[in-house]
Structure 1
């Protein structure tokens, strides 16, 4: 049975006050979520400790990025082992903003994924096409290429079966992130089905891997998106900064059957 996950990516937003009030509220509501969803909050690294203090085990916590090294003279970087030591369970890898603004390549994503799973954390690996790529009919091939290249280390791992259990894939069409636009539920489902097919071709236990949708997910479109058979939850941006909206989105995840 695939995990149902709703993860809130705060991006470069947050404060001690937000960590206390928002996470406290989400923690209080988590007990009333009867659909089996795992709630994850991914704050800026500076606030991981504050979020963990409020989460108290009821909410999982992740980091937005890690370096491609485990230690050394890399000022400003954090490693997967550090994230694990701090109490995190998840790491975002390959978010479109990291790819576009910081030049991260599929090869770099693969390096980071390898370190993340070796540390015992779960990688939420982000993939997605630009508007130009979608308009030219290349969306599925672009995303398939990102999946294959970004997860090549998992495919080739000595214990691939164990490694695949530490992978979540988040499909985020670049043109829908922070724009107010979103893929239709049908378009999102088609891409998720394509991703699952690619994973199967790679030898992954594709039906067991959680696939999330991200890209202007809000309370008013979450139900339609999450009702699709290959969408197992969401990676939420702006709406995750509003406690009531975030919890509402979590409630729209259908219960596992």
Structure 2
């Protein structure tokens, strides 16, 4: 059975901006100031920013209604892991969200499904909401392996976090659509979202209440059509999140 859309299901829309490795203190302040002027929105809105800017962003967004988060966290609580950032450190900055398993982490840092599951588990232990990213490459899609790939990636997290699975957010990001200007059609994206919700339903009775986001060249001109799909609850937004006007329009679409 296909679940209802955002408005009918009672799930609140969620839009998360992923700044990736972009920004400066001056540019960030300008962006956040412009965003605050354009809010509030019906949807929940958050930005996941580079670690050096967390203190500035937390100060700027305090009381604004916009949440903030990090782009990754370590699998480890603490220790001799030079260059890594732990979940307790992120929690101390007031982070609500942390991205885990982003395709760029999987590709460039060779993160495995088990690595992603470990990160989700430690994030939850410190009251952070992990945004678990799953998605297939172009070669996998063309080989007809989309279903097997995303189910395998999500399965590792389901087994890793156990009964806490209902506390995560899932983001489907087809790798072939990230930063390329190509976007899955609303129907293509919905098919994968419905698949993922069905997989979650086998693990928790709360699957209908969980939010599944779409990521992959989400823009102001395609957001409404994507978010109108019954199982797409908002977006994980990359490049468009660096433009206040465009990002705000995306946030308005997730009503």
Provide TM-score, normalisation by structure 1.
0.93
| C-alpha spacing 1:94/1:240, structure 2 compared with 1 (3 Å) | same
- Equivalent position to 1:69, from 70, 76, 83: 76
Offset, 1:165? 4.0
Provide TM-score, normalisation by structure 2.
0.93
Is the partner of 1:147 in helix, strand or coil? helix
| Kept after mapping to 2: 8 A contact 1:27/1:54 | no
Offset, 1:17? 1.1
Is the counterpart of residue 201 in structure 1 residue 202 in structure 2?
Answer: yes
| Kept after mapping to 1: 8 A contact 2:98/2:129 | yes
1:221-236 equivalent positions in 2, closer than 5 A: 221-236=222-237
Aligned to 1:51: 57
Count of matched residue pairs = 245
CA deviations over 1:157-198 (Å, ceiling 9, x no partner): xxx2xx234200000000000000000000000000000001
1:71-150 equivalent positions in 2, closer than 5 A: 71-150=78-157
Is the partner of 1:220 in helix, strand or coil? coil
Is the partner of 1:151 in helix, strand or coil? helix
Q: Unmatched 5+ residue regions in structure 1?
A: none
Q: Unmatched 5+ residue regions in structure 2?
A: 1-9
| Kept after mapping to 1: 8 A contact 2:11/2:210 | yes
| Kept after mapping to 2: 8 A contact 1:66/1:91 | yes
The separation in 1 between residues aligned to 2:59 and 2:205, in whole angstroms, is 35
| Kept after mapping to 2: 8 A contact 1:121/1:166 | no
| Kept after mapping to 2: 8 A contact 1:164/1:204 | no
- Equivalent position to 2:34, from 22, 25, 37: 25
Is the partner of 2:235 in helix, strand or coil? strand
Aligned to 1:179: 180
